[in-house]
Each structure stands twice: as C-alpha cells, then as structure tokens.
Amino acid sequence: MTQAINSLYRQLPSVDTLLREPAITRLIASYGQTQVVEILRAMQAQARFTIREQQALPEWSHDWAASLQRRLDKAQTSALKPVFNLSGTVLHTNLGRALLAESAIDAVAQAMRSPVTLEYSLDGAGRGHRDRALADLLCTLTGAEDACIVNNNAAAVLLVLATVASGREVIVSRGELVEIGGAFRIPDVMRQAGCRLVEVGTTNRTHLKDYRQAINADTGMLMKVHTSNYQIEGFTADVAGEALAKLGMAAQIPTAVDLGSGSMIDMTQYGLPAEPMPQDYLNCGIDLVTFSGDKLLGGPQAGIIVGKKPWIDAIQQHPLKRALRADKMTLAALEATLRLYQHPEQLHQKLPTLRLLTRPQSEIRDMAQQLLPPIRAYYSEKFIVRDEPCYSQIGSGSLPVDRLPSWALTFTAMDGRGSTLEKLAHQWRNLEKPVIGRLYDGRLWLDLRCMEEAHELLQVLVL
C-alpha cells in the first residue's frame, strides 16, 4: 500500500513544471504569477490529501490547466453578484434595496473618473462643505432651513441624539420603540448616543399628556419614531407631529421625528398607500427629521437630516459627523436622485423604485403569460408550472401591511416533496445570474413585479 501511495505522489507535477506548460503560461498573462502560484500550491496540497485519504489521484488531476482556470475564474467572481429579484419584495434589504436611476449611475461614474468639487469652493478657491449643494437642494424640496447627509439613517438618528440630547433624557412613546433589521433598536441607539430613554404611554395608546407629564429639567428631546415596519391596529392612539411640535416649543425642548422610509412625495397620487413626508413634519414645526435615501426615496444608502439651521449647524460640528459622513459617490448618486424630484411629472418613469411599485397588475400578468409556455415546456417533467395572481410587498420596513397586486409563475413539484422545490430554488441560486424566488404554500413563486425584460429571464431559466 505504501509503495502504491508513493507512486501516486510521484505523479504529481511540481509547480515549476506546471508553470512551464503553455496553457498555464497563458493564464499567468491574464491573472498574474502570484495568484497562479498560490492556487497551484493549494491544488497540490489538495491532491496530496486525496492520495492520503483515498489512495487515489483527484479526478481533476488529469488536466491541471483546466482545473486551474476554473479556480481562477471563481476567485475573480465578484461577491456582489447581480440577481433577478423575483422574491415579491421590491425594496429587498438583502438584495440592496433601491435600484438607482440612470442619471444617478452616470453621476457616480463621473465622480469616480474625475476629481470633483467635493469640498472645494470654486468661488473662493478654498475649502467648501461636502453637504452644501445637497443641503440647498433638500431645502428647496422640503422647505427645511438646512440639511445634513450621513451614511445611513441609523447614523442620522445617532448623530441627532448625540448632538441634541447627549447626557439627557429623550421622551418616546412606548409604542414607537422599534427594532429594524439586524436587531437595530431605538433604545440601543439612544444608549450609544449617551441619552437616557424615557418611555411614555402604553404599547397601543399614547397621549400628549403623557409627554407633558414626563418633561422635567433634564429633558433633552421629545422624539417621535415612525413605526414603518409594523402596525398596531384596534384601540390605538398616538401623538400627531403638530401637537408634539407645539408642546416642544412651549416647553423650549427640541423635537425630532425619525421617518425611516422617508417618502418625499404623496404616494396616494400613484395609487399607493399614504406615507408621512418630511415636509409635513417640518411645516408643523418639528425641529429635526431623519429618513433614508435608499428606501422610498429611491436613491443610494444614505441618512438625511433636515430641519432648523441652528441644530443642523451643531450637528455638522459634532465629532461623530466626520465618522458618519457620506462619500463622493453616495453624494453624487443622491444629488442626481433628488434632481429627479424637481420634475415630478416624469418621476414615476425615471425613478426605478417608483416605476416598479406602480406597475399595473395587468402588465405583469401579460409578461407571465408570455413566459409561461417555454418555461412550462422546459420544466414539465418534474413540475406543474402555472401563472397565478399574487401580492408583492414594498419592503425595507415601508408600509408593512400593504400589498401590491402582482402576478407570478408558480412551480409545484409533481412528487409532492418540498425538498424537490428546495433543490430547484438552490439550482437557480447557483446560476451565473441567480434567480431569487420564494417558497410559500407548497410552491416556488417567481413574482414578476421586478422583472421588466422577459427575454433576460428566459435566457437563464430555459437553458
């Protein structure tokens, strides 16, 4: 046995020998010698392990160059792979939330290719402020006195709390102590900002008197948090922004609202459920409003703070601002996105998020019926394929109980096994461009709301 194993070891070519093979020499030109040598050494180690454990050469050892090519290709594959989002969730957090408008993509490309006036004032040839151009635009769109941009809405909330109420009490309704994805909780953010949480009211009902009775000399802020990812129904009551703003002004205590999703337009004009807008809270006197850039706004990941200028000035000077600031690519994409809001008549055509949310069910159904015959024929041996009505959701904590009528292709396993559907879903996730559906009610659903080009899906599903 030892002699046979030693014979197998002697069949393994050295790295130097492999590097002289013409096919591998060509790979060095494309991928570089360092990477090629590293992988060849790893392949040799794997081959020795196989010989030791199985007393045989690995199957791939008959063609080292081909195996090396596959490994090099895999090593070069981006961790951020494009996918088909057929999950039924438009703003899918795990899939990157909002798709950017073409103008935003162009703006990012330009910011990457060329030096830009990120913090440079062309008027004085000196240092400017990176938020200034966007702040002016946000003020025009929302009516705010000033604005600030950071890297996400959690950062915006943290920065507001740390600036306005660090070391003091912040009063919040018990029914608004939200937790969002990744176990991010408002009470935890308050602790990190150095604030002391004061809960008022009950889970389902909070009144203005609850805030008023909790105010004392140590109160640093009155805060309202939009419960964007859940809804309490039935015997409920909460405090409107206008009432909270009046109480804050009377008590000389700053007020803040965290909107989370942050729609800047009246969603009902597009047949979508109503969502609070930052300008509504600013108009009624709230001092500071925070919201996301990559949810209903339809832009890049960003946290936006709008409100009274003295507070924004203080926020801009806080040491945390530098740690949480947005980079040039985010600012470029956000500015281009906000520019689209200056032309609201075309917004639903140019802003992908709004376009996908407002697609009529009839249009999605037509696509499903176009895709059905070739896909049904291809999968007919193992699956029953149908087109069926379904409901999409907006996602990312936006309008959690509201659904959008949509249409889907559904796959039911003929053998009745859930494992057969799971195997199919796994197979699709391993495609060159993965297809992400959802398993529900004994079927695999492909919700077509976010699928705008039918032929692209056919190219990957019907091989």
Q: Give the integer Cα–Cα distance in Å for 199 and 146.
A: 30
Beta bridge partners of 214: none
Residue 134: what pLDDT? 93
Pick the closest to residue 438 from 231, 448, 362 (CA basis). 448
The residue type found at 114 is S
The answer to whether residues 394 and 275 touch, using CB atoms and an 8 Å cutoff, is no
Residue 436: what pLDDT? 97
Tens of pLDDT, residue by residue over 323-377, are: 999 999 999 999 999 999 999 999 989 999 999 999 999 999 999 999 999 999 9
Q: Alpha carbon of 311 to those of 242, 251, 328: distances in Å? A: 19, 17, 24
Residue 225, SS3? strand
Take residue 243 and report the two structure tokens written for it. 């009432």
Residue 235: what pLDDT? 72
The answer to whether residues 302 and 125 touch, using CB atoms and an 8 Å cutoff, is no
Residue 121, SS3? strand
pTM of full prediction above 0.85: yes
Residue 230: what pLDDT? 57
Question: HSE on the CB side for 152, CA within 13 Å?
Answer: 6
Domain ranges of the chain: 1-76, 84-92+357-462, 102-346
Residue 137: what pLDDT? 96
Tens of pLDDT, residue by residue over 185-223, are: 788 888 899 999 999 988 788 899 999 999 999 999 999
Range 84-92+357-462 classified under CATH 3.40.50.2300: no
Pick the closest to residue 287 from 325, 326, 320, 241 (CA basis). 241
Q: Give the integer Cα–Cα distance in Å for 44 and 31.
A: 19
The CATH fold assigned to 102-346 is Aspartate Aminotransferase; domain 2 (3.40.640)
Residue 414 has pLDDT above 90, yes or no: yes
